[in-house]
Structure 1
Amino acid sequence: MTDHPSTAPITGGVTPRILALANQKGGVGKTTTAINLGTALAAIGETVLVVDLDPQGNASTGLGIERSRRRLSTYDVLCGEATLRETVQETGVPSLYVAPSTLDLSGLELEIASERDRAFRLRNALKALAEDANGPRFSYVLIDCPPSLSLITVNAMAAAHAILVPLQCEFFALEGLSQLLKTVEQVRGALNPELIIHGIVLTMYDARNNLSDQVMQDVRQFMGDKVYETVIPRNVRVSEAPSYGKPVLLYDLKCAGSQAYLRLASEVIQRERAARAVAA
């Protein structure tokens, strides 16, 4: 993480806000949050791109992109074989797009490890996308990271303005969070000085479980106002929706999970407006 090519901010006619959804632990709700936060942002007027950087490709599947339709993927983008614009596909949600992933991505690290710009492949691709006048202009880019602190995740952090951390309400939540925060500090020091933690969203909260309450209190005490007010409940409809290739907001708009993601989208936008006001 020592090479330091251009760290200039991404520019263009419309500058998208780029949020990387990251947590090295699996099963904490990263992909579910990427799909449903993206859908909720699109539902309230944003134009959103989900960049699937997980070799499992679950965000792509959950947005209805069958594997047979992934002729170009984020693997091709990071290898320099395709542009992001060429890779982006429409979803069944108006104003929501996805750059799909394939299993090829799992071998990427070995292929580009010796390249000087290896940590900046995604940043450069997003910069080119922002400067491309063709096609939709995105106001938000959500990057679904793999469950590891790999070169792929480093690419996401080097490209992002901020990190959004889904955190499951479980016993070892804070331990995993500490490791992630150290990685963010390393990336900030070496690759992306502007990187911040946008917020931590507590997922899979079960009101009947005392442990969920304890974890929520501990995380709020440890991270303060970095923790979103919105908490994503454990919800059967949220779990069912991906098997139908739909975000939960399309599968069951009125369920508790859908309503929570709509609140989270509003909170994300409120934080963005507050940050712009401070910057101004």
Structure 2
Amino acid sequence: MNLVQRLRDTVAARRPLPAGHQVVLHLGSQKTGTTAVQSWCREHTAELAAAGVVTRTTQPDIRAALDGWYDVTRPGADDRLRAFLEDAWRSTRAPGLFYSCESNTGPAFARDSAELYPRIAENVAGIARATDGVPRHVQFTVRGYAAFLESAYQQQLKHGRAVRFDELADRVQARLSWRGVVEQLARTFGAEHVTVYDYDRDRGAARPLVGQILTDALERLGATGVEVGDEVSRRTNTRYTQRMADLSLEVLPLLDGADERAAFHRFVTDTLGRHPAPGDVPASFLAPDAVTALDERYAEDLAWIGSVVELR
């Protein structure tokens, strides 16, 4: 980044956001109900606005405003995010803003790192600069390492990356931990301004996870009178069956270009995912003993997380 751009970002970070406003930042993680949270907000935009909350949860709009997914290494990233949030307040009279985008924290895994969310330090620092001067609270959801690793791998297949599971697992499995992620969030925003949600918690008859995230956010934003009830979307992304995963590994190396990979993804999802053949089973990649070890590590880390920030 050149000197002029660094100076522009510094000025943008110091410019005060509108007085009397506050923001809840729902930052992920991926594959933990974020799509359902965002869908509910889009379906209740008018009701939320009447209660003093403006939402920014539509991913194509966020990508367009930020010139792609948020990346602090790109010149002007802080400016674009800050301007996007300011515009939400400028275009409405709502004092509260709910922003939901799981991609602001960067990719869950990168080829050059064994860490979980290797870019989170620089990315959340950028988010902090872009929201400096306004009260803010961060929501982040964690889930068991075995399920998260398998889900993240399937996401790579969906995006057209023909990587074998063992290649990913061999690099990251031993280092899987939410501790570094939570430490970074707490260090950047303050532990009292971070709530972590356990995706795997048995909530019984209590409010489901998506409803809990939304209810907590609206309470913090002072949106009285908005009830998050049974209309909470349970929309989920299609989970790969073993046949879908095996076919992807065979076909993806033969495809040429993003258009062909996108067309193949639509075929796999629409034809095989929504109309499974008899005997299809959910894709599974980890051995049972590996799952057990990862579950035990997750339980230990949850206890630690609960000692650092609010855990729900």
What is the TM-score normalised by the length of structure 1?
A: 0.43
Q: Which has the higher strand share?
A: 1
What is the TM-score normalised by the length of structure 2?
A: 0.40
Q: Which has the higher helix share?
A: 2
